[in-house]
């Protein structure tokens, strides 16, 4: 059963087609990779899926709770409310806030108490705040950041910042998680650990994950299917093995050996 169907998605910036006629389908619970050379339009696809850009044409349909909802052109916070969360290629944490606050903010969309309760700090507010802290701490524990809850996000080492971004995305309680180069800038040991974390959260939270990644060891190891993008178009898709041997893919990477890229 698909969770996301993208049909003929196109985005033009002026005369330039950053993404053209991209069609994707993600099955419930799948872990899918989106790869391609620099400038292929991968992040633009993410920005279209999450509402940062409005598509020039094409449709994006989210299938959750037995209904089909078109989400193209919705504002990012609406898309998030519908169950799609993301991380950013160039880490975008709330840098001057604590680790705990970063996660708590992402839980805001499910907060029930109103403005009046917050002004007067009514019991309803206090109780829910307590729950927010507890739930945030659970997520931080999973990402091994619980002991740093009062640290400012900007003071975390790079790898932990990437982990915090994932924790924050999980805090929005998504059914589909988009990871934009989660392993960028990590050393092999960190990447290996991240790879495990990603598979683990996918099973634990029953998530569907779409990830952009340049680190082929990670992609080949955990992705069940891969889409390859080049010049804004899908040039290949299939299992890691199929993609690895695809001639067009190898050409796209300028003859580079995909195994070691």
| Sites of contact with another protein (CB under 8 A) | 43, 47, 50, 52, 75-77, 80-81, 85-86, 88, 92-97, 101, 104-109, 111, 113, 115, 117-121, 125, 128-129, 132, 168-169, 171-172
Which CB, 90 or 259, lies closer to another protein?
A: 90
The residues, any chain, with a CB within 8 Å of residue 37's CB and separated by 6 or more, are 230, 252, 253, 254
Closest distance between another protein and the C-beta of residue 211, in Å?
A: 16
Which CB, 35 or 106, lies closer to another protein?
A: 106
Closest distance between another protein and the C-beta of residue 210, in Å?
A: 15
Which CB, 75 or 248, lies closer to another protein?
A: 75
Which CB, 65 or 259, lies closer to another protein?
A: 65
Which CB, 136 or 191, lies closer to another protein?
A: 136
| Cα–Cα dist 111/175, whole Å | 18
Per the CB < 8 A criterion, the answer to whether 194 and 144 are in contact is no
Closest distance between another protein and the C-beta of residue 106, in Å?
A: 4
Q: Which two tokens stand for residue 230?
A: 């080049």
Closest distance between another protein and the C-beta of residue 245, in Å?
A: 34
In the chain the beta strands, taken as DSSP E runs, fall at 2-13, 16-27, 31-35, 57-64, 67-70, 84-86, 176-180, 208-212, 225-230, 233-238
Tell me whether strands 225-230 and 233-238 are parallel, antiparallel or unpaired: antiparallel
Closest distance between another protein and the C-beta of residue 191, in Å?
A: 24
In 71-181 the beta strands, taken as DSSP E runs, fall at 84-86, 176-180
């Amino acid at each position: 059963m698909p969770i996301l169907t993208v049909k003929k998605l196109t985005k033009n910036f002026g005369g330039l087609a950053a993404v053209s006629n991209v069609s994707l389908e993600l099955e419930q619970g799948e872990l899918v990779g989106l790869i391609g050379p620099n400038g292929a339009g991968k992040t633009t696809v993410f920005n279209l899926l999450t509402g940062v850009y409005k598509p020039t044409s094409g449709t994006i349909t989210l299938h959750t709770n037995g209904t089909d909802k078109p989400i193209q052109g919705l504002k990012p916070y609406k898309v998030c409310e519908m169950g799609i969360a993301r991380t950013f290629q160039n880490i975008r944490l709330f840098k001057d806030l604590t680790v705990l606050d970063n996660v708590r903010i992402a839980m805001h969309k499910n907060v029930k108490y109103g403005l009046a309760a917050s002004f007067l700090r009514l019991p309803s507010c206090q109780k829910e705040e307590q729950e927010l802290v507890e739930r945030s701490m659970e997520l931080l524990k999973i990402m091994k950041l619980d002991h740093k809850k009062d640290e400012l996000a900007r003071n975390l080492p790079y790898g932990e910042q990437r982990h915090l971004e994932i924790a924050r995305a999980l805090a929005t309680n998504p059914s589909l998680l988009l990871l934009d180069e989660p392993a960028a800038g990590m050393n092999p040991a960190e990447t290996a650990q991240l790879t495990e974390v990603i598979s683990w959260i996918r099973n634990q939270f029953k998530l569907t994950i779409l990830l952009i990644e340049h680190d082929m060891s990670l992609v080949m190891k955990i992705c069940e299917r891969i889409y390859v993008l080049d010049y804004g178009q899908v040039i290949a898709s299939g299992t890691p093995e199929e993609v690895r041997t695809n001639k067009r893919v190898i050409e796209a990477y300028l003859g580079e050996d995909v195994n070691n890229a």
